[in-house]
């Protein structure tokens, strides 16, 4: 079997999931400081090496440190996994539903060609479908929009869905991949499998009133600020990452 490369995880990992490695460094015990550091937090999940790096918010994403960039350029990191929050553009989506990106679209259409492809397969879809069933939600595979600001109003969400064909909207993914490509190369990014999964934290408002917009904004904010709970973001990341390590480099479960 081909040896699995290192995973770059673009968010804060669940507590207790990542194991320390010998070369983790003296700051490893301060988990959040490491994730927010320029080179991220290095460790292991199962038998897989992983680096967790918080990419920041909105278009002002964070630049990776030199050590992290060197491992990306050298081909040591072979997978990028992004499990984040998103708002629904499709009115059929409910809070808690999952959307696996089939294609990532920038709202201004400035999308680096090399970073549009995702990492999908029957085994991965089966893994995520099992996670969705355990959580009592639906899993969808569809395009995801990257915007530079929060989109709250019902009319604007539906209009964006019609214009872009996207089912959900978030504010970081493509901005980070575009930055990463500018710091490495198109060929480098082409050789990395990218998987983008989002948890819907706020559905399309049912009405157009001020209270509906405020409720949508609160749901979106709480998805970022209050990620705990059995149906929250941290439990989703734990479920997916703990199963992910059983996928081989071709996407098959072993």
- Please, what are the domains in the chain? 6-244 (3.40.50.1580)
- Angle CA(21)–CA(233)–CA(183) in degrees, nearest 5? 60
Mean pLDDT score of the chain, rounded to an integer?
Answer: 81
pLDDT for the residue 117: 47
pLDDT for the residue 14: 79
**Residue carrying structure tokens 């997978």:** 79
| Distance of alpha carbon 95 from alpha carbon 115, whole angstroms | 27
Q: Which residue has the higher pLDDT, 103 or 123?
A: 103
pLDDT category of residue 45 using cuts at 50, 70 and 90: confident
Q: What is the pLDDT of residues 145-177, one digit of tens each?
A: 999 888 878 889 999 999 999 999 999 999 999
Full-model pTM: 0.85
% of the chain beyond a pLDDT of 70: 75
Q: What is the pLDDT of residues 200-253, one digit of tens each?
A: 988 887 766 676 666 666 566 665 555 555 458 888 999 999 888 776 555 444
Side-chain half-sphere of 57: how many Cα atoms within 13 Å? Answer: 6
């Amino acid at each position: 079997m081909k040896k699995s490369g290192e995973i770059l995880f673009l968010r804060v990992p669940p507590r207790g999931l990542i194991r320390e490695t010998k070369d983790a460094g003296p700051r490893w015990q301060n988990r959040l400081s490491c994730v927010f550091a320029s080179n991220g937090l290095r460790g292991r999940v199962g038998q897989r090496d992983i680096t967790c790096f918080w990419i920041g918010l909105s278009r002002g994403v964070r630049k990776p440190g030199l050590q992290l960039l060197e491992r990306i350029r050298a081909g040591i990191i072979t997978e990028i996994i992004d499990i984040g929050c998103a708002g629904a553009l499709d009115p059929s989506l409910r809070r808690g539903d999952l959307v696996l990106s089939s294609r990532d679209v920038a709202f201004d259409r400035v999308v680096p060609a090399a970073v549009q492809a995702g990492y999908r397969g029957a085994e991965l879809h089966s893994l995520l479908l099992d996670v969705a069933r355990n959580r009592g939600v639906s899993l969808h595979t569809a395009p995801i929009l990257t915007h530079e600001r929060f989109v709250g109003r019902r009319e604007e969400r539906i209009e964006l869905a019609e214009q872009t064909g996207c089912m959900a909207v978030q504010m970081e993914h493509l901005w980070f991949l575009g930055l990463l490509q500018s710091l490495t190369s198109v060929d480098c990014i082409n050789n990395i499998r990218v998987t983008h999964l989002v948890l819907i934290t706020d559905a399309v408002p049912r009405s157009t009133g001020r209270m509906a917009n405020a409720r949508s904004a609160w749901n979106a904010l709480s998805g970022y600020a209050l990620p705990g709970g059995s149906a929250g973001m941290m439990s989703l990341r734990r479920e997916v990452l703990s199963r992910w390590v059983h996928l081989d480099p071709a996407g098959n479960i072993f």
